[in-house]
Amino acid sequence: MDFKKTEEQELLLDSLKTVMERGNFEDYFKECDRNHEYPQKAVDALVEAGFTTLGIPEEFGGTPTDTLTQVMVAEEAHALGYPSLCWINFATEVDDILTFGNKEQQEKILGYALEGKKPFTLGFTEPQAGSDSAAMATTATKRDGKVYINGNKTFNTSADRAPYMLCVCRSGVNESPYKDFSMYLFPMDRPGVAIEKLDKIGNNMCGTYEVHLDDVECEESDLVGEECKGFYQLMKNFEVERLTICAANVGMARCAYDEALRYAAQRMQFGKIIGSFQLVQEKLVDMRIKIENMQNLLYKTAWKKDNGESIMIDSSLVKRYTGQAAFEVIDDAMQIMGGIGYTHDCRISRLWRDQRVYRIMAGTEEIMVHTAGRALIKEAQ
């Protein structure tokens, strides 16, 4: 078993470090966080250095890249302080469009992905349909050769910037919801689309919105893939998308750990560095164990995906574990920093606010128990 990164992976991570060092973004991120602004300057630097091309097929101008490498890059960016929910490598997000979309949809969406612009906001969650996705009530109704979308979506990341919505709707054909969902891709500037910003406690650099869809007129060609197969199409990609989210968890945990470790090694109290006290050492040791465990589980899952093995169970395990473990690591990092960690001057406070939602979004940690637990029992039967 070889745990060493390849030379190409090491050099790519060196390039990422150079981008982040040259940009010297720490104060800029603080300012963007304070002003609730998208960190466009950092995005531009990453786009220029080619990080949006990773995992996008060559025919669209990308560079074929395995999942493991994409995960390592996303993790490293967050470990270097890059803000969560603002990551610019959309290769896993656009997989649905690549697999099921028509040529025109692919060219538009992949073009935005390469520009570092989030191509679409996913219209999935609704006020009454969170973990219970079967309760989705947004409808796609055919009338006079057109399709009209009506309903409300919520927790839409970057709905203010994304040019498109990939919207999951009931088609009204089958009684079973899962066999009735269809995916439509339409521009966010279509008449009938209205957005409303949610006031949340963290991830200030990335706006999250409710989206109201009032008789949004679509062409039948705006359908992605097959009618009534939308749910299954979406599920195909959810497992891999989760890995990018998990990479952010590991990265944020490392970012907080690195800062707390440096602080513990120089902060003097009672005439000694606080890192000499065993209560602080215990925290650091447990934080490090969690980081190692998170990385191992995440890399192994990505490796399995790259080697054609099923990650149906693994993706739930790694989502649940990295969400919780990263939260614990960042919380302990704040504890080690003392009062300073609770101020906006210290970036651990941002990580503490921002990471919390990773235990909720893209499948709550409880739903991960549901998906993995059921599958484990089924395996044993």
Partner 1 sequence: MNIVACYKIVPDAQDIEVGADGALRLDRAQWVLGEYDLVAIEAAAQLAAATDGSAVLLSAGGEKLNDTKLVKAALSRGADELYRVVDPALEDADAFQTASVLAAALRKIDFDLVVCGEGSADRYSQQVGLLVGALLGLPVVNATGSVRAEGDALLVERVLENEVEVLEIAPPAVVSMTSDAVLPRIPQLKDILAAGKKPVTTWSLDEVGGIPESPVETVSVKAPASIARKGIVLEGATDENIGELVSGIRASR
User: Out of 2, 3, 7, 379, which residue is the one contacting partner 1 (CB under 8 A)?
Assistant: 7
Q: Which stretch binds partner 1 (CB under 8 A): 63-71, 148-156, 173-181, 232-240?
A: 63-71
User: Out of 37, 44, 49, 130, which residue is the one contacting partner 1 (CB under 8 A)?
Assistant: 49
Q: Does 261 bind partner 1 (CB under 8 A)?
A: no
Q: Does 333 bind partner 1 (CB under 8 A)?
A: no
Nearer to partner 1, 22 or 146 (CB): 22
Q: Does 12 bind partner 1 (CB under 8 A)?
A: yes
Q: Report how many residues bind partner 1 under the rule CB under 8 A.
A: 17
Q: Which stretch binds partner 1 (CB under 8 A): 13-21, 126-134, 172-180, 310-318?
A: 13-21
- Reference 295, options 101, 131, 71; nearest CA is 71
Residue linked to tokens 């656009």 = 94
How far from the centroid of its chain's Cα atoms is residue 188's Cα? 21
Q: Does 57 bind partner 1 (CB under 8 A)?
A: no
Burial of 148 (0-12, 13-18, 19+ CB in 10 A): middle
Provide the minimum distance between the beta carbon of 51 and partner 1 in the complex, in angstroms, as a whole number. 8
Provide the minimum distance between the beta carbon of 64 and partner 1 in the complex, in angstroms, as a whole number. 9
Q: Does 19 bind partner 1 (CB under 8 A)?
A: yes
Q: Does 65 bind partner 1 (CB under 8 A)?
A: yes
Nearer to partner 1, 69 or 152 (CB): 69
Q: Does 8 bind partner 1 (CB under 8 A)?
A: yes
Q: Which residues bind partner 1 (CB under 8 A)?
A: 7-8, 10-12, 14-15, 18-19, 22, 49-50, 53-54, 63, 65, 69
